[in-house]
Amino acid sequence: MAEQPLIAPPGLKGLTVADTVLGGVRGQEGFFHYREHDAAELARTRSLEDVWTLQLRGALPPAEPAVDGGARRELPPVVGELVDLTAARVADPMATLRVGLLALADLEGRGSLLDRTADEIDDDARRLAAVVPTILARHHRRRAGEAPLDPDPFLGHAADYLRMATGTTPGVDEARAVEQYLVATVDHGFNASTFTARVVASTGADMAGALVAAVGALTGPLHGGAPSRCISMIDEIATPDRAADWVRARLAAGDKIMGFGHAVYRAEDPRGVVLRQAAERLGGDLVDRAAGIEREILAVLADWKPGQRIVTNVEFWAAVVLELAGLPRAMFTPTFSVSRSIGWTAHIIEQHGVGKIVRPSARYVGPAPLVGVAS
């Protein structure tokens, strides 16, 4: 009898495709972790550089020397010029990010993973993740008709990104709130962009190529595009007393309510909890309105699907935090790539260590092939 092929569920949902030591998500419990550490607690208590160290080195400082992205954020002049030229013609910062990453890797000779030593691959990971905020901020400044700002190696990654993007050194509270967002989104299991990065890495491609593929996956609104849509939703609803009718009308039209529901979490999204707390520390009218709107939306969703718990996801409160920090809305999704590039590079390194190409099969479901008939 012929061996029966294994048939994966649509979207590979629930299918384990690899082993990883980098972290995991336990959606029924509302818990996720980076290596052995509670990721939400890391977001509350640790810097982005500490978590960067954990993912690349396997331990938090001081057990391992902290990764310092400061000196690595600067772009070579020729790459800066290319970013400027792209930004002048292309509105999407994620497109400019892809151009910048590929140009930098080519200029600096960061070739195939198969031709790099372990130390060189580690250097690739730190260098490429470090320039992501520089490229994105430079794109935004050029599109706004303003001169780009050079990185400040003495500022933390989150604070310097805000400074380069907005032109103003952020306050401590704003910088910390954005840093908490970045820590909370470094990694999150085998999501679409992370899996994409690993598939490309398995071919032996260069790290920049794997990163650019991940960025492409992130541009899809079902993956990373919700924060700006969430803040627009809050603006449109305006006040909590309008939220219930607004949501019912959208549900009746078959629309998705951005910022609510998650493919994995059935308990509260711990990232959203951290960011709600960060937003509350910043305070203000937007936070008060968002909290009231959230309550009303959750009540309507509970009535709409009484047997299913629909929770607030990370994007709702991320939108509030990024808005209060002064980032332009066009930069909300790109900001996600500032943190996730750290996670992607760690996954690329781990996948490279597997030494086997990802090559699944497809099940043909078309008309029977014409055997022995000339075409």
Catalytic residue numbers read: 262, 315
Q: Does residue 62 have a cis peptide bond before it, meaning omega lies within 30 degrees of 0?
A: yes
Q: For residue 247, give both structure tokens.
A: 């949501």
165 and 141 Cβ atoms separated by less than 8 Å: yes
**CA–CA distance from 360 to each of 6, 16, 212, 295 (Å)?**
10, 13, 22, 43
Whole-angstrom Cα distance, residue 184 to residue 368? Answer: 49
Q: How far apart are CA 189 and CA 204, in angstroms?
A: 22
User: In the block, which residue shows the tokens 């937007």?
Assistant: 286
Crossing angle of helices 314-324 and 270-282, rounded to 10°: 30
Q: Yes or no: say if 126 and 69 are a contact pair by the CB < 8 Å rule.
A: yes
Q: CA 156 to CA 288: how far, in whole Å?
A: 29
The Cα 279–Cα 274 span in angstroms is 9
| Rounded distance between C-alpha atoms, residue 51 and residue 354, angstroms | 23
312 beta partners: 260
The residue behind tokens 């043909």 is 364
Do you know the residue count of the chain? 375
Nearest in space to 320 (alpha carbons), one of 178, 223, 135, 196? 178
Contacts of residue 238, defined as CB under 8 A and 6 or more positions apart, other chains included, come to 289
Give the DSSP letter string of 150-213. ---TTS-HHHHHHHHHHSSPPPHHHHHHHHHHHHHTS--SS-HHHHHHHHHHHTT-BHHHHHHH
